[in-house]
Amino acid sequence: MKKLFKFFKYFLLTVFAIILISILYILISNKIFIGGKDSEFTDYLKNNHITVDDKIDGKLFDDNFYNSQVFLLGEIHGYADNQKLDLNVLKFLNQKEGVKYYIAEMDSIHSNKLNVFLHGKTKDQNLLKEVVLAVKKRIPQQSSKELMDKWNSIYDYNQTLKDSLKISVIGVDTDFNENSRKISRDSAMIVNFKNAVKKQHIEHEKFYGLFGFYHVLQHGVKKDKKPFAEELKNSGFKTSSIVSYPLDSEMYLPKNPQFPTPEDEKIDWINADGPFMLVKGINDFKEFAKPNSMTLFKLNSNNSPYQQADKLISVKSRMFGESFNPQKNTHTLDYFQYVVITRNSKALTPIQ
């Protein structure tokens, strides 16, 4: 009996030691991957950021940005502040550049329903809810109360505009119920977008949209796979990309069979500084991104260190989602030109 007890004691100690070593390894490797603060980058960022909580201030945008035909915002799904940010960017571009076409990560059937809602004489909440619930089939983490609130706000905003500036939606995604595709989803998006532009005779208009992070990258992280933004550039549409990263924030994670989900469907361990998502260089932004705020950073000013860096585009996922590494001889600005840090964002709220 004593030998058996001794065996179990050493066995448990060994298991505990293995677990402890594994945790220490993860913590140390996380810290090495993200890196510490770099004065070359913090000195640059100090003069190239602005808070954008309630309204977009355009002072960080230059002629290169305004000369774009397509503006894209890329998010990691599930964070409430991104819906607020999306609304603010849309209003800013509408007022500054006359952008009235919102390209959406949804199919044309549901974007047409959304247009009926936006241009209706009254707010048809049943129709809007139908669209928002349909989003759950493709992007479960986006279907939310905040998504409904955003489109209701866009409806209200439309009422203040003359007809020539009212917002309309172009759905470029494949059908929500389509499971088999002969071409990649992003390739289908560019085909659908070009077809819609041609059909509506809006070749000289400007466009804006919110998409998942990967779709707004202007260079593929895999040689045989091109994101929507890269497809746009290759098709002759000058494009500017903004990406959003969370810090100290909560994500809405709907119940699913693949991952353990808390009862309230909220998690706070998917942030840009770990422990399960790691973004190289994120520590450079922390002193400028204040608590409970959204902060916009311009990455492509003259003499920007991001011209020769792989920060922000080197992303490691330890649980779910994709890891990213820049292609050889590419740098941060080949993928996007602006980043927004959302700090202390709440999780999206599921519709009951």
pLDDT at 12: 60
Domain membership of residue 352 (yes or no) is no
Collect all residues with Cβ–Cβ distance below 8 Å to 271 and sequence separation of at least 6.
246, 247, 248, 249, 277
Assess whether 53 and 22 both reside in one domain.
no
CA dihedral angle for residue 325, residue 172, residue 166, residue 296, rounded to 10 degrees: -10
* Cα end-to-end span (Å), the chain: 57
pLDDT at 109: 95
Assess whether 20 and 123 both reside in one domain.
no
Domain membership of residue 349 (yes or no) is no
pLDDT at 170: 98
Assess whether 79 and 9 both reside in one domain.
no
Question: Tell me: the pLDDT tens digits for 243-302?
Answer: 999 999 999 999 877 677 788 889 998 899 988 889 999 999 999 999 999 999 999 999
Q: Cα–Cα distance between 232 and 187 in angstroms, integer?
A: 10
Domain that holds residue 274: 39-343
Task: Determine the 3-state secondary structure of 246 from DSSP.
Answer: strand
Question: Tell me: the pLDDT tens digits for 113-163?
Answer: 999 999 999 999 999 999 999 999 889 999 999 999 999 999 999 999 999
Question: Tell me: the pLDDT tens digits for 9-67?
Answer: 555 666 555 655 544 545 555 666 677 889 999 999 999 999 998 889 899 999 999 99
Task: Determine the 3-state secondary structure of 8 from DSSP.
Answer: helix
Q: What is the pTM of this model?
A: 0.91
Locate 264 and state its tokens: 């309230």
pLDDT at 34: 73
Assess whether 23 and 98 both reside in one domain.
no
